[in-house]
Amino acid sequence: MKNKLKKLSPSSSRRSRGSASSRDNMSVDSSHRDTESQEDASPAVPRSRVQGRTSVLTSVEQLMPRNNYEREALDLLKNQTYNHVRIFEPLFFIKMGSKADMTRAFSHVGWYNFANMTESGSKFSTMEFLMTLSFEEEGFDKRCLIDLSILAKTYKYDRTTWWNEISEEPVSSKNSILSIHHPTLRMLAKWIGMVVHPRSDLRLYSLPELQYLFAMAKKIKLSPVMSMLAHWQKMITGRSPIDITTLVTRIATHVKALDNAQVIYLPWGEEYQLRVGVEHFVQGHMMREGSGNSLFMTYPGYDREVELPCPRLSLYSVKSYLLQMQKKEPAHHNVTGTTTRQQTRSSTIEALPMSSLPISTTTVA
């Protein structure tokens, strides 16, 4: 597999020697885990030094790390959980009516066939892929360098301006997908968090993900490769299940690394693939089920719901990504509160006729 997988990196033959020696004493935590303040920054131009070492991958003992970094990474990866790529539950996806809109969005950014991955994932192939993953200044075809920086330089992308186009909530470091108005943009944001930057918590978005939504809405070709690789490296020390196994199989198949290889794949079933359905969105207060098997997109704190599917809100036919809706008035609470014994006694006395009240006599000395 070694020579075949190196096709992912045209310049690997020029730089692999220096990369291996410089990484020999690197720590996984110190050199490959970004700080929180750097997490949303555009990563350096990456190179995937994926090197298969055997044509048989049926046990972890067949993975042979070559330096300290790879040994540390492998030790961490042994304790991780591995799954197939997450998908929307098929019947739910049809019921939403967003498939056509989302397919067009993927086409506009150039992510052809990215949304329909059915390959089986392999735990051991993914472990090898991640433990040998590295970044260098060069290593990808120029077509992969259509990265996020192009949005600001060429298309005047500004985070605050774009956020104000899709939400009426104030921009902050912890904006929620729930704050996005347009139904398709909401679903695209969820999908990016499931597939491009897979993680357990799908409530918030990262800065690159907001940029991808901008590119999809504005029909701009954009490669997700660099931010994906940066995210994948963080998965080595992360706590979420590693569910890029399907994508690793697709990459390895594309470069013919799996030709005549003996690989054990994960079984299919609920245990190894999370299917995101209506329950996820109901629990997240993004949808509700109505009578007659109907489905509504909900907006907590606002006075509007959108019944799905809603063809008139197609992403590429609307003039605005914001919906016309008002915030709900805060509920008025009962100001009387609990009645005290003294209040009850006073009310009773006020209701009695004057003749029945006791007469108080005051003696003046």
Residue-wise pLDDT tens digits, 140-177: 555 555 667 889 989 999 999 999 999 999 998 888 99
Q: How many percent of the chain have pLDDT more than 70? A: 72
Domain segments of the chain as ranges? 1-84+120-140+227-276, 88-113+148-222+277-283+311-324
What is the phi-psi region of residue 264: left when phi exceeds 0, alpha when psi lies from -120 to 50, beta otherwise?
A: beta
Cα 308 off chain centre by: 22
Going by C-alpha positions, the residue among 5, 3, 2, 51 that lies closest to residue 252 is 5
Least confident piece of the model among 15-24, 123-132, 156-165, 222-231: 15-24
Looking at every residue in the chain, the average pLDDT score rounds to 80
Would you say 84 and 245 are in contact if contact means Cβ atoms under 8 Å apart? Answer: yes
Residue-wise pLDDT tens digits, 220-253: 999 898 899 999 999 999 999 999 999 999 999 9
Q: What angle do CA 15, 16, 22 make, to 5 degrees?
A: 95
* Res. 219: pLDDT tops 80: yes
Cα–Cα distance for residue pair 177/341, rounded to 1 Å: 50
* Res. 337: pLDDT tops 80: no
Tell me which DSSP letter residue 84 carries.
P
What's the whole-model pTM score? Answer: 0.75
Would you say 67 and 271 are in contact if contact means Cβ atoms under 8 Å apart? Answer: no
* Res. 344: pLDDT tops 70: no
Whether the ω angle into residue 309 lies within 30 degrees of 0, i.e. cis, is yes
